[in-house]
Amino acid sequence: MALHCCNKIWVFIIVIFLIIVENVSAATFGCSTGQTDDFRNVALSVHRQYRQLLAQGKAPNKCGQLPEAKNYYEINWDCALETDAKAWSDACNYAYKSGATQALTMGSASSPADAIKKLMIKMANTPITNGADPDTYNNANNDWNRVINYKVLAVGCASKLCSGMYFTVCHYDKPAFSNEKLYEKGTNCVTDSDCTTLLESTCKDGLCIAPPKPDETINTVCSSNPSMNDYARDQLVKWHNYYRALVIKGNEPAAGGRKAPKGKNMYKIKYSCAIETNAQNYANTCPYPTHSLSTARPGWGENMAWISTGTIGESMAKSVQLYYSELLSPGMADLVTNIVTYPADKGAGHYTQVVWGNTYEIGCGGKKCPDGYWHLVCQYNVAGNWNNTAVYQVASTGPGGCATDADCTTQAADTCSTSDGLCNRV
Ligand SMILES: *[C@@H]1O[C@H](CO)[C@@H](O)[C@H](O)[C@H]1NC(C)=O
């Protein structure tokens, strides 16, 4: 009897929420909408509580529980999202705001804090009523899809008494798309290295904790380009080196159940403002998907991406992840010699440029174009993707990567970055 089982779970959920809500800490939020920190504490706690239950595979589904989540992040409060939510709730118009990622409810409650609890109980009941699967967006689950979406890192809510009913509005920092997974099924994180969506994440109680929100207004490294910022540059360098250091260890999953081979003499990527200027000039023409002429970037390679959401820094980080994912799909033809041949390896061309062993410098630019997308351009010195050439040198012995300067033999002066096994080009 499905109904009986679901009723019992529903009661269980409410009990859980009440326990947590009574134990909220006295966090201060520093927001200035006129709402209370007590309200914020309750609103954040009910979100965290439900998302934690879900991540652990304990949130109720139509029958049974929703599957456990892998690489699932804790949610934080955001004053700017609260400000948007407050403006919307104050209007007392129970409708969705175009372009915003919202959860809404209108109903009787004893206080704003009580109203937000009711919103989350309504959310928790959605999959019980309709059934849910993290692989498939279900329109019937409406707001719930947005509340639990794995990409969401921040929330801000508001509740307004409108003719005797509380209109409660939450805004989320990332939209959920109907053609994407809501979250990845799998085991909760155990160590920090299980949290791979954002660099420098940590794992706590099975949830991934994001690093502090970056300040994307700082632009000192290549300050003459106002379209980029230091966070975006830092992410580009770190994601490239993260993948380069991983791939040479020989454990990276590749298409066909294979692994990319262990490597050596892999350069550590540095950032170049001169390359950035060139890449930015090209990005400013909104060129996606057409590559620049090779004469416009002599000796440099190029990767391009087209991304609709996020800041420039978030989009740049995402682009490197997308490039690298080609190792798994469609994959490279020969992972024993690691030699690329075209046209067979055309589909992995972004991946092969990201981990091209001799490449040691990048510079990137991006523009939000009239089509609503970021047109992102990264250029690489030296260019990779030479036909009949190894992507990086295969290591036949050892763990992969350098341990001492003597292991870095491309140029006599090269040194070993022992923390990651990559070689510094001096
Ligand atoms: C790459 O090299 C292979 C093998 O020599 C050759 O068959 C192919 O035509 C070359 N591809 C391109 C695009 O030059």
| Residue entry with tokens 């763990």 | 399
Report, as an integer, the average pLDDT of 278-303.
Answer: 97
Q: Atom 9, ligand 1: which residue's CA is nearest?
A: 342
Name the residue type at position 348.
A
344 in contact with ligand 1, CB cutoff 6 A: no
Can you give the pLDDT at residue 309?
A: 86
Element (H, E) at 144: helix 143-148
Confidence band of 13 (pLDDT split at 50, 70, 90): low
387 in contact with ligand 1, CB cutoff 6 A: yes
The yes-or-no verdict on residue 418 having pLDDT over 60 is yes
Q: Atom 13, ligand 1: which residue's CA is nearest?
A: 342
Can you give the pLDDT at residue 111?
A: 97
pLDDT 10s digits, 246-279 = 999 999 999 999 999 999 999 999 999 999 999 9
Radius of gyration from C-alpha coordinates of the chain: 24
**Exposure string (b/e) for 94-129, b if CB count within 10 Å is 16 or more?**
eeebeeebbbbbbeebeebbbbbbbbbbbbbbbbbe
The yes-or-no verdict on residue 11 having pLDDT over 60 is no
String of DSSP letters for 257-282: GEEPPPEESPBPPEE-HHHHHHHHHH
Element (H, E) at 50: helix 37-55
- Read off the DSSP letter of residue 61: -
The residue whose CB lies within 8 Å of the most ligand 1 atoms, and thus the one to mutate among 334, 342, 352, is 342
Can you give the pLDDT at residue 16?
A: 53
pLDDT 10s digits, 201-230 = 999 999 999 999 899 999 999 999 999 999
Element (H, E) at 90: helix 79-90
Confidence band of 28 (pLDDT split at 50, 70, 90): confident
Q: Atom 3, ligand 1: which residue's CA is nearest?
A: 341
pLDDT 10s digits, 177-188 = 999 999 999 999
Q: Which atom of ligand 1 is nearest to the CA of 387?
A: 1
C-beta separation of 24 from 41 below 8 A: yes
Can you give the pLDDT at residue 14?
A: 54
Can you give the pLDDT at residue 17?
A: 55
The residue whose CB lies within 8 Å of the most ligand 1 atoms, and thus the one to mutate among 294, 340, 341, is 341
Q: Which residues contact 345 (CB under 8 A, 6 or more apart)?
A: 332, 333, 352
Q: What is the 3-state secondary structure (H, E, C) of 8-24?
A: HHHHHHHHHHHHHHHCC
C-beta separation of 198 from 210 below 8 A: yes
Q: Which residues contact 243 (CB under 8 A, 6 or more apart)?
A: 320, 324, 354, 355
Ligand 1 centroid, distance to 161 Cα (angstroms): 70
Q: Which atom of ligand 1 is nearest to the CA of 388?
A: 2
Can you give the pLDDT at residue 63?
A: 84
Q: Per mean pLDDT, which range of 13-27, 75-89, 143-157, 404-418 is the poorest?
A: 13-27
Average pLDDT for the chain: 94
The whole-angstrom separation of Cα 128 and Cα 304 is 42
The yes-or-no verdict on residue 240 having pLDDT over 60 is yes
Q: Atom 5, ligand 1: which residue's CA is nearest?
A: 388
C-beta separation of 344 from 333 below 8 A: yes
Name the residue type at position 168.
T
Crossing angle of helices 112-130 and 2-22, rounded to 10°? 150
The whole-angstrom separation of Cα 303 and Cα 349 is 8
Can you give the pLDDT at residue 18?
A: 47
Q: Which residues contact 48 (CB under 8 A, 6 or more apart)?
A: 74, 75
C-alpha distances (whole Å) from 410 to each of 312, 333, 354 are 34, 26, 18
- Pairing assessment for the beta strands 361-368 and 270-271 based on DSSP bridges: parallel
The yes-or-no verdict on residue 5 having pLDDT over 60 is no
Q: Per mean pLDDT, which range of 15-29, 123-137, 155-169, 378-392 is the poorest?
A: 15-29
Name the residue type at position 164.
G
Report, as an integer, the average pLDDT of 280-304.
Answer: 97
Can you give the pLDDT at residue 2?
A: 42
The yes-or-no verdict on residue 284 having pLDDT over 90 is yes
